[in-house]
Amino acid sequence: MGKTKELSKDIRDKMVDLHKAGMGYRTIGKQLGEKATTVGAIIRKWKKFKTTVNLPRSGPPCKISPRGASMIIRKVRDQPRTTRQDLVNDLKRAGTTVSKKTISNTLRRHGLKSCSAGKVPLLKPAHVQARLRSQVGPIPHGQDVELTGIRAGLD
C-alpha cells in the first residue's frame, strides 16, 4: 500500500465539527474536497481516541536512515557478491552501528533477499577436457574430446 498525503490538523478538526453539526460523510467530503472514506476514517478515529492528531507508529525507530539504506542497495546492486559483514563495516565507517540481521532485513524490504551473482561455468575447451577426464577415465593418447563431451573413436 502506498503512502498517502497527511491532512492538516485544521482540516481534520473541520471535518469533526461538520460531523457534530449533523452533516454526512459525503457532504463533508464534497465541501472539503476529500473522499467520503477519508472523512469516515477521520471521524472513526476521533470517536475512538477523542483526538484528530496522528498517533506515533508502533515499534522502535529505524536504525538505518534512508540514505544509509540507499547506500547499501547501491553497493549490493553494483557488487552482488558483497557480504553482509562488508556492509556492516561500511555503515560503521559512516557512523551507524547495525547487525548483519538488520542488513538482511533492509535488503529484503527493498526486494533484494538473496543477492549473489550467478555462477558461470567455465566452458573453455581445456576445462571441458579436464572434466571429462575425471569423469570417464584416461583418454587414449592421440584422441581428442569434442566440446559436446562425446569421446571420439570409442563408439
Q: Tens digits of per-residue pLDDT, 94-133?
A: 899 999 999 999 999 988 876 555 566 667 888 777 877 7
In a domain, 23, yes or no: yes
Is the Cβ–Cβ distance between 73 and 108 less than 8 Å?
A: no
In a domain, 61, yes or no: no
In a domain, 34, yes or no: yes
Examine the domain organization and report whether 70 and 96 are in the same domain. yes
In a domain, 57, yes or no: no
Q: What angle in degrees, to the nearest 10, is found between the helix axes of 25-32 and 9-20?
A: 140
Average pLDDT across the chain, whole number: 83
Q: In the numeric block, which cell numbers belong to residue 67?
A: 540514505
In a domain, 55, yes or no: no
Predicted pLDDT of residue 138 = 61
Res. 63: pLDDT tops 60: yes
pLDDT band at 155 (very low <50, low <70, confident <90, very high): very low
Res. 136: pLDDT tops 80: no
Predicted pLDDT of residue 30 = 96
Examine the domain organization and report whether 130 and 96 are in the same domain. no
Predicted pLDDT of residue 148 = 53
Burial degree of 13 (CB within 10 A; 0-12, 13-18, 19+): middle
Examine the domain organization and report whether 100 and 133 are in the same domain. no
Percent of the chain with pLDDT strictly greater than 90: 49
SS3 154: coil
For the full predicted model, state whether its pTM sits above 0.85: no
Host domain of residue 82: 66-109
Highest-pLDDT range among 4-18, 30-44, 114-128: 30-44
The stretch 2-27 carries a mean pLDDT of 90
pLDDT band at 42 (very low <50, low <70, confident <90, very high): very high
Examine the domain organization and report whether 105 and 125 are in the same domain. no
The stretch 67-83 carries a mean pLDDT of 89
Q: Give me the number of domains the chain comprises.
A: 3
In a domain, 56, yes or no: no
In a domain, 141, yes or no: yes
